[in-house]
Amino acid sequence: MLERLEELRHEGLTAVEASNSEDELREIEVRLLGRKGALTDLLKSLGTLPKEDRPAAGQAANRVKQEIAAQIEVARGKLHAFNLATDLAGDGLDATLPGPKPPAGGLHPLGQIARELEDVFQSMGFRIADGPEVELEDNNFDALNIPADHPARESHDTIWVTPEGDGRGKGKGVCMRTHTSCVQIRALREHGAPLRVVAPGRVFRQETPDPTHDHTFHQMEGLVVDKGVGVHHLLHAMNTLLEGVFGRKVETRLRPGFFPFVEPGFELDARCPFCKTGCRVCKQSTWIELMPGGMIHPNVLRACDIDPDVYSGYAFGLGLSRMVMLRYGIDDIRWLLSGDLRFLEQFRA
């Protein structure tokens, strides 16, 4: 038995040594170590040995098996390295073959809609304004004529950066901006009147996420200040905007709405672009709440050193997240910032 084992060991190692292809190595593997291989046969015949000899013979056979298997692996490694080296040396390397294709990115649907809207507004003479996401309480609330005791300032609505008692509520706090309306203040203070700007961006609220609320979402604030600006200008801009987005005229209507920074304030609705007689999106009413807006409150103009007796203006707050959801029939806002590729890949432009 041990002699036969030694024979097989010798046979195996010599064959591995002499081999120079994967096929040959594979053949040796099958012939000696495979399910019907010589070594396996030998192991199976252990039962014919006297009982006391079996453990030693079994161990010896396993050692030989492992030794041959190990040598086969070593030979494979060498063969692979050799093949690679010859490939790289010129033979068989085709440097003109296309490489692996990196996955292509795309614009997020929020970015796509923001760009489309920016285009439409720029064509109407607006410029794009920007502001920080961490904002002064004065810009986010006070200068917008929001009273000191307004519930929106409470920490169950606003995410504060300054600790409680540290100036907040007195106009000296710092918070995550709760809307893009604060960019109105920055832009008016920086550029004065006349001015036309839109300001797209992220806003933050203390919110438990559910299908219609998220702690982070997107808005686009718009503002026009000039001499003799009236509600009809606001309506005209909105109609132009809708035509740009939907590629045709869309009917609109105004309802009264209240916001401290506008007087009068409105809710602007658009005729549902998806149906004629009522559908799921417009909740069977054929109207969709599109955005709030209004004529800028004199106190806001004064806070920006603009004389309300000379200038007037309108402002509006477009919900970008809402527009994306409307456009694509997305029923849960949490998809938007989920980062889930299964969702995002559907919007590759």
Number of residues that bind ligand DAH (CB under 6 A): 11
Q: Least distance in Å: CB of 158 to ligand DAH? A: 12
> Cα(201)–Cα(75) distance, rounded to whole angstroms?
61
Q: Is there binding between residue 173 and ligand DAH (CB under 6 A)?
A: no
Q: Which is nearer to ligand DAH, 5 or 304 (CB)?
A: 304
In the complex with ligand DAH, the residue whose CB is nearer, 12 or 293, is 293
**155 is written with which tokens?**
């920490």
Q: Is position 181 an interface residue for ligand DAH (rule: CB under 6 A)? A: yes
Task: Give the interface segment with ligand DAH, choosing from 46-54, 81-89, 160-168, 311-319 (CB under 6 A).
Answer: 311-319
* Strand-pair category, 195-204 with 312-319: unpaired
Candidates 47-55, 64-72, 232-240, 287-295; binding stretch for ligand DAH (CB under 6 A): 287-295
Q: Nearest distance from residue 203's CB to ligand DAH, in Å?
A: 7
At 339, the amino acid letter reads G
b vs e for 97-111, b when ≥16 Cβ sit within 10 Å of the residue's Cβ?
Answer: eeeeeeeeeeebbbb
Instruction: Point out which span in 22-30, 88-96, 160-168, 310-318 binds ligand DAH (CB under 6 A).
Output: 310-318
What residue ranges in the chain does DSSP mark as E strands?
A: 127-128, 134-136, 174-176, 195-204, 216-226, 252-256, 262-271, 287-296, 312-319
Q: Does 315 bind ligand DAH (CB under 6 A)?
A: yes
Considering only 65, 153, 168, 179, the residue that binds ligand DAH (CB under 6 A) is 179
- Tokens standing for 65? 């098996």
- Report in angstroms how near the CB of residue 213 gets to ligand DAH at its nearest: 13
Instruction: Out of 140, 303, 317, 320, name the contact with ligand DAH by CB under 6 A.
Output: 317
Question: Under the criterion CB under 6 A, does residue 217 sit at the interface with ligand DAH?
Answer: no
- The Cα-based distances of 116 to 31, 85, 131, 220, 243 in angstroms read 69, 53, 20, 12, 12
Return d(Cα 193, Cα 306) in angstroms, integer.
Answer: 7
The stretch near ligand DAH (CB under 6 A) out of 77-85, 86-94, 109-117, 292-300 is 292-300
- Which residue of the chain is nearest ligand DAH when measured via CB? 317
Contact between 221 and ligand DAH per CB under 6 A: yes
CA 189 – CA 185 distance, rounded (Å): 6
Alpha-carbon gap, residue 217 to 202, rounded angstroms? 6
Nearer to ligand DAH, 179 or 218 (CB): 179
Determine the Cα–Cα distance for residues 316 and 297; give it in Å rounded to an integer: 12
Query: Quick one: CA torsion of 169, 173, 179, 185, rounded to 10 degrees?
Result: 100
Q: Where do contacts with ligand DAH occur on this chain (CB under 6 A)? A: 179, 181, 221, 259, 262, 292-294, 315-317
